[in-house]
Amino acid sequence: MPLERPTALDLVESVQSLHQVLKCVAHAGVRPGRPGIGPLAVLVRVHNNEPVRATDIARALGIGPASLSRHVAELESAGMLLRDQDPADARAQLLRLTGAGRAAVEESTAHRAELLAELLDNWDEARARDAVTLLDELADVLREGLSRDAASRPEPRQAAT
C-alpha cells in the first residue's frame, strides 16, 4: 500500500526537523582547532572509502567541485589528506588520509559518540539499537530511490558549439 499524502507530509516535516537538529549537534561536536563540518565530512568519506576519487566524494556529499576543492586544499595543507593521480585516469585524483587525518577522524568520531551518549542519556541500549536500525533502513531506501531516479533521467544535452 503506497504512502498516504498526509503521512508523507508528516515524514517530510520530521526529516527536516531531524536534519536541522543534526546540524546543530554536528556544530556542537566540532572542537576548536580541528576540522570543521565540511572538511570533516570529506575526511570521514575518504576514511570509509580510500583511496577514493575526489568526484565520488563530491557526489556522495552533494557538494560542488569548488566546495570540495576548498575542503581538500584545507585538509592537504593541514597534513591530513593526500592527493594522488588516478593511475586509471590521469584527469582524476585519488584521495587518501595521512596518519593525522586518520587520527582526526577517530578523535572526532569518539567525541561525537560521547556527545550523543550525553544527549541521549535517558535512552537504553535497545531503544538506541532500534533507532540505528530504522535510520539505516531509511537512509538505504532514500539512497536507492535517488539512484533509481537519477538513472531514469535523460542525460543533459551538450550545447552546440
* Interval 78-119: pLDDT, tens: 999 999 998 988 888 899 999 999 999 999 999 999 999 999
For the domain that residue 76 is a member of, what is the CATH number? 1.10.10.10
Task: Identify whether 7 is part of a domain.
Answer: no
Domain region containing 96: 33-121
Task: Identify whether 77 is part of a domain.
Answer: yes
- Against a cut of 0.95, is the pTM above it? no
Task: Identify whether 137 is part of a domain.
Answer: no
Pull the grid cell for residue 83. Answer: 592527493
Tally of domains within the chain: 1
Task: Identify whether 71 is part of a domain.
Answer: yes
Lowest mean pLDDT of 67-71, 102-106, 115-119, 154-158, name the range.
154-158
| Residue 57 pLDDT greater than 80, yes or no | yes
Share of the chain above pLDDT 70, in %: 96
Nearest CA-CA partner of 41 in 14, 11, 85, 74:
74
| Residue 28 pLDDT greater than 80, yes or no | yes
Nearest CA-CA partner of 84 in 64, 72, 92, 119:
92
What separation, in Å, do the N-terminal and C-terminal C-alpha atoms of the chain show?
49
Task: Identify whether 76 is part of a domain.
Answer: yes
Task: Identify whether 21 is part of a domain.
Answer: no
Pull the grid cell for residue 121. Answer: 542519556
Task: Identify whether 147 is part of a domain.
Answer: no
Question: Tens of pLDDT along 116-132?
Answer: 999 999 999 999 999 99
Task: Identify whether 153 is part of a domain.
Answer: no
Distances (CA, A) of 55 to 33, 36, 86, 153, 154: 27, 20, 12, 20, 20
